[in-house]
Amino acid sequence: MTALRSFVARRLLLGVVQTVAVVLLVFTLTEALPGDAAVALAGDDPDPARIAAIREAMHLDRPAWERLGDWAMGLLHGDLGTSLASGRPVSQYIADGFGPTLLLAALTVAVLVPVGFGLGVLAARHEGRLVDRLISSVTLAVYAVPEFALGVLLVTVFALQLGWLPPTAVGFGTDLLGHPAALMLPVLVLLSRPVCSLARLMRAGMIDALASPYVSQARRYGVTGARIRYAHALPNALAPATQQLARTIDWLLSGVIVVEALYVIPGLGTVLLNAVAERDVPVVQGLAVVFGVLTVALNLGADLVAHRLAPRAGVAA
């Protein structure tokens, strides 16, 4: 167990380094972009005197390293800084965007896990037969459809033609749970590709596991088919899928820009998009920290789960 503990410690330390690196990179890249928040705000009225005044009001006239330093000092005290564009705290931006993002992610994962794993196992059980071929080809086809295309298609058919569901979540604000019908289409779009990748991964893992020597051995011992499949083969097949699932959750939590824009859901993706367009560096940095921490935590979690499922595989640190 000490090996595991030191692994976790090393991974957490690495995670901190990675998050710092991401923040530095984001800061450097945003600084390297042409124009700054003052120029972006001035828009099509680039009166030089006005830009200079905005720059001063935003304290952008101070050297970059000083601004980064101040922000980093604040971060040590748990302060993510204030937005250049509005002067509101960055934490407020993130808190406001996180609710809808979390809701969408939770709903998606709640459907994704049973459906993705289930389809994979089902296909593996019927390897090479009609069911497998059907699942494999449909998942491949759906996987190839870009999100925005699927999104537009679903809106056209289910909302505008049939009128079964609302086309967007416009006007519902943060009260999305009160309007579950508005969440159907976005969740469907979010599910489309992860379900396919997860099912295909699961199928491959199951087929590999079912063809492995320990399964043949179990069969020779007369263990029942169901027990072999679910008690012996499944955990081994789950390990790689868990990591894929973690990456999917990370993706869902880091702002799903296309879906948010299409269905007007004010989540973190929208916050990020606006912040980049406004060159609102503190908000972008704050989001980078949050996304960095999420990525590290989720990957660590996935590794630990994978280790628990298949200790034999060891943990690659």
**Binding residues among 280-309 for another protein as defined by CB under 8 A:** 280, 291-292, 295-296, 299, 302-303, 306
The type of residue at 235 is P
The single residue among 1, 5, 48, 220 that binds another protein, judged by CB under 8 A, is 48
Residue in this structure with the two tokens 């929208």, named with its chain if needed: 270
Q: Find out whether 84 and 279 touch, Cβ atoms under 8 Å.
A: yes
Query: Least distance in Å: CB of 200 to another protein?
Result: 5
The answer to whether residue 258 forms part of the interface with another protein (CB under 8 A) is: yes
Residue 224 CB, nearest approach to another protein (Å): 29
CB of residue 227 to another protein, shortest distance in Å: 26
Is 53 a binder of another protein (CB under 8 A)?
yes
Q: For the CB of residue 153, give the shortest distance to another protein in the complex, in Å.
A: 12
Considering the complex, state which of residue 104 and residue 303 has its C-beta at the smaller distance from another protein. 303
What are the b/e assignments for 66-88, b being 16+ CB within 10 Å?
Answer: ebbeebeeebeeeebbbbbbeee
Confirm or reject binding of residue 18 to another protein (CB under 8 A). Answer: yes
Least spacing, CB of residue 316 vs another protein, in Å: 5
Site for another protein in 68-127 (CB under 8 A): 83, 85-86, 88, 92-93, 96-97
User: According to CB under 8 A, which residues from 165 to 184 bind another protein?
Assistant: 166-168, 170-171, 173-174
Q: Binder to another protein among 112, 271, 281, 289 (CB under 8 A)?
A: 271
Residues 149-168 that bind another protein (CB under 8 A): 152, 155, 159-160, 163, 166-168
Residue 272 within binding range of another protein, rule CB under 8 A = yes
| Span from 65-73, 124-132, 210-218, 263-271 in contact with another protein (CB under 8 A) | 263-271
Member of 101, 136, 236, 254 binding another protein (CB under 8 A): 254
